[in-house]
Structure 1
């Protein structure tokens, strides 16, 4: 991984640890900052002040049940090949760090378009597609919560996204799955969400 990262534009790398020799490889790259992250705390709650009180929500868990693609359900399409699945996992994990409503589009182990903080999912999808431009064609996408309507998924499909992962759980999941099938998009359900207020 260090060899690959050393060939692409990278300013900062943050990881819980590094394999033997990785730091030597990364040290050859000019102007890179390599950081070691502490292990995340398990459990806990997040507090958000709101007018007249507090919103208490469970903290998003790293390595939660829904993060493991072996636990995902293939809703429609062909099973993803290993490279596509790796990109789907990356996009899904990246969603946790993006302000909801979040859509992350990824290709080749990197984000190519991110739509965040929108009041609805279709606007987040449009923003991610706009930011990704031509790099969206052939990429994958993740949504931090379910698609309440097919329009968000249709926006991604029209831009050339080939596979999507989302939690599922909408009363319109069947419509979303049908839209994916009609567009030829592989669709996975995680059963867990990253959405937060």
Structure 2
């Protein structure tokens, strides 16, 4: 059980691990134009199933592609955050939960399809950007899990957390307290100098 997760999402880790991947684009021929090394959907499913076991949860951060390949993923639970190429109706019955936008699953973890900027208090796990991996941009820590960026291999959320990926992120609560303290000290300093 990943206790870091907010209560509504802890059931994802009840019986196993939580694995995350984005942008598999199963069967999308345009992907070869974007990345000549793009692997076939059967190989992607094989790589997913090499890690994701029948008691695990598989979270796809969007741009699924051909829905028939989702059936082959052997996870107990399948979660989808819709991407810019997805239509909810195409995946009903294939995913246990489908979300329309970014999802804050823990105090410092935001899942989204596209990168979200300007949130220094969280790790944004996303896809959409098929060109590179950025660790920090515009005050927010990012982990890009677009399939071709991460070797078409899902990443274990539990291992990321245990590995300390959140350790250098200051929580929103600490940021708020620090700002209030700075304002109070500034106000107190101005009040003393006026006397």
* TM value normalised by structure 1: 0.34
Larger Rg: 2
Looking at both structures, which has the greater relative contact order when contacts are Cα pairs under 8 Å and sequence separation is at least 6? 2
TM-score, with length taken from structure 2 = 0.35
